[in-house]
Amino acid sequence: MTRATEAIFLPMLFLTVTLLGGLRVADRVTLVPPPLFALVLGLLLFGVLVRGRVIAPGYLMNASRSALENLNGLIVTLTTFFASTQIFNLVIPEFGLPFLLGNVFLFVLLLNTLAGSPDRISVLRSLGVIVGAAFILKFVVLAALADPAAGALKRVLLALLDGVTLGTLSQAPLHPATGYAAFATLLLFLVGIAMLPHSRPSAALVKLDE
């Protein structure tokens, strides 16, 4: 990894993800800070990234580096954590039953991944699937259910569904710009994660006696 990537590109990229992660466009533009549980999920994801050797904090900060290099490493580490948190803020539904189920599902999934011993490629693939699926659920499925421009039949069916689920399923309608911005943010995040300095599994050369 070049010094410019470590000192400039990665922090800028992750800070941009941090900024856009809370962006919501409706009748007005709002920046939503992450809920407390997103911090927990962000921490778990950071743990998964370290355990899966996607990020190597030991490479970014160690005694052999200068103070300035260590500061750059600290910035990369912190911005990775903040971006991880904001990604969950972005893809988890806003309230109701989907919010609760999304949080529980992601919590269990991340704990399960953390308990295993995944390698770097597996973690990257798994992360793509997790955030991609959550994105589709929130910005395609639930957004379609909340679409105010739907036809009369669809509105009746949704009203019935709302009645059955006691109104816990429906979400606030989203402006299409939110979905496009969210998609770009997810791509940025995945690119940034793939660019992080990573460590290889340790190996030893052993000479077998003849």
Identify the CA nearest to 10 among candidates 191, 182, 203. Answer: 191
Given candidates 49, 50, 79, 124, which one binds other proteins under the rule CB under 8 A?
79
Measured CA to CA, the distance from residue 76 to residue 12 in angstroms comes to: 9
Classified as helix, coil or strand, 31 is: strand
**Residue among 26, 58, 62, 71 that touches other proteins (CB under 8 A):** 71
In angstroms, rounded to a whole number, what is the distance separating the alpha carbons of residues 113 and 108? 9
Of 30 and 62, which CB lies nearer to other proteins in the complex structure?
30
Q: Identify residue 56 by its one-letter amino acid code.
A: A
Nearer to other proteins, 7 or 114 (CB): 7
Longest dimension (CA), the chain: 81
170: Cβ–Cβ under 8 A, 6 or more apart, which residues? 96, 145, 146, 158, 162
**Which two tokens mark 60?**
């970014």
Residue nearer to other proteins on the CB measure, 11 or 118: 11
Query: Under the criterion CB under 8 A, does residue 18 sit at the interface with other proteins?
Result: yes
Q: Name the residue nearer to other proteins (CB basis): 7 or 61.
A: 7
As measured in angstroms, the least distance from the Cβ of 19 to other proteins is: 5
Instruction: Decide whether 48 or 174 has the Cβ nearer to other proteins.
Output: 174
Site string for other proteins, 32-61 (x = CB under 8 A): -x----------------------------
Name every residue whose Cβ is closer than 8 Å to that of residue 143 and which is 6 or more positions away in sequence.
Answer: 171, 173, 174, 179
Q: Is 62 in the site for other proteins (CB under 8 A)?
A: no
H/E element holding 70?
helix 67-91
Specify whether the CB–CB gap between 82 and 39 falls below 8 A.
Answer: no
Q: What is the DSSP letter of 200?
A: P
Could you tell me which stretch among 8-16, 39-47, 154-162, 167-175 binds other proteins (CB under 8 A)?
8-16
Answer yes or no whether residue 75 interacts with other proteins by CB under 8 A.
Answer: yes
Nearer to other proteins, 69 or 147 (CB): 69
- From the list 16-24, 36-44, 137-145, 157-165, the region that binds other proteins by CB under 8 A is 16-24
Binding site for other proteins (CB under 8 A): 3-4, 6-8, 11-12, 15, 18-19, 22, 28-31, 33, 68-69, 71-72, 75, 79
